[in-house]
Homo-oligomer: A and B are copies of this chain.
């Protein structure tokens, strides 16, 4: 294990910034093992030193002098949002060859090309997975995994607030205004919901995704954008009647020699994978020449998920470039061992073929009880078949509560030994 450190400057201490500060502080040892060097949080740039924070880092770390902080760092994590001073600060870092992780979708949708050029010219890396679809890894797959393929179209549900609203309208018949109020009450929508409802948030993400998917420079101004303000409960109900659901889709698709990028409410068939994306979840559906249809699904927002994306970018670039290594450190450091099935706790369904005789059910239930396996449901079906040499029989299907593999096995062994049990026809785990 090397003793080298990576100096990290954090810009911003909002919801996501606080989570990142917490992880860099409390998970430092784990992160060190993953990177192969110790990440050192050297400071947190904030606008005011006495604001309230979700996570209170060492008070000495807070500073209002972002520039000096940047100049002393190896990696800069920008989580302030907005155009300025974020743009100038990121450029300052890149021009010094420092790597930057950002979650600033508005900035990247407007000035992505300029930031990428500054990074390339100075041999610095710029990552921003958190800017699109929260924790869902979508930018990295587009940039790396599909790097040898040709993307033809991307369809995304990239705004959680509007998806929550449309889902509420679809599942409860709510009117637009009631759905918006509910989203606001639950903290999904801001007091001023314009950025979400009018599609501007989704449009910024579409511009970023289109740039990576089609290796070209697009900004939010290239996106045709229509929000969901005009969607009524009647529209949603009429769509449902025809087997459709209305989603606010971000669409980026090859269009002749160009790319068409748009955000608009769209009817999609209920059988489409995107139709089942509920609540405030996000999903991105990618169509490509060779890989075919891929879908990525997960939480589109929230402090912890977004911080996960930021830290993933940070660890990846720290591994790769700060150390100048080959990119993949020894990944066996955790040294965990495989465990036996005996500790695994699960629900099970058990199928039995038994003699149809008074008291059999009780005898079987007794075996389960003796081995400490609690029964959730028990169904019996009687069969009277003349051809059956064994005479009348019944099939029993039992669903257990959670039990260990070991207890279940011993239960099954004893059941098999009963003369009233002809067969254990199935033993299958139950999830969820």
Residues of chain A having any CB pair with chain B under 8 Å:
19, 23, 27, 30-31, 33-34, 113, 116-117, 119-120, 123-126, 129, 134-137, 140-141, 143-150, 155, 210-212, 214-218, 222-224, 230-232, 234-235, 238-239, 242, 244, 246, 249, 255-262, 264-269, 272-273, 276, 288-299, 302, 304-305, 307-317, 319-321, 325-341, 343-344, 349, 351, 397, 399, 425-426, 428-432
Contacts and interface: CB of A to CB of B under 8 A. Distances in A.
A272 to B, nearest CB: 6
A297 B299 contact: no
A293 B238 CA distance: 32
B291 A239 contact: no
B332 A255 contact: no
B120 A328 contact: yes
A138 to B, nearest CB: 9
Residue in A120, A331, A335, A351 with the greatest tally of chain B CB atoms within 10 Å:
A331
Nearest to A324: B324
B147 A312 contact: yes
A335 B242 CA distance: 40
Contact of A312 (B119, B144, B222): B144
A120 B330 contact: yes
A344 B310 contact: no
Please name the 4 residue pairs, one residue from A and one from B, whose CB atoms are nearest each other, closest first.
A148-B311, A222-B338, A137-B145, A135-B291
**What is the oligomeric copy number?**
2
Contacts of A432: 268-269, 272
A286 B304 CA distance: 15
Given A224-B341, A246-B428, A329-B120, A298 B299 contact: no
A125 B77 CA distance: 27
A295 B297 contact: yes
A311 B149 contact: yes
A308 B34 contact: no
Given A27-B148, A260-B338, A293-B298, 6 more contacts: A149-B308, A267-B349, A267-B431, A291-B304, A291-B308, A295-B298
Contacts of A120: 326, 328-330
Contact of A425 (B234, B304, B319, B429): B234
B328 A305 contact: no
Contact of A291 (B299, B314, B426): B299
A113 B272 contact: no
B430 A266 contact: yes
Contact of A261 (B23, B214, B338): B338
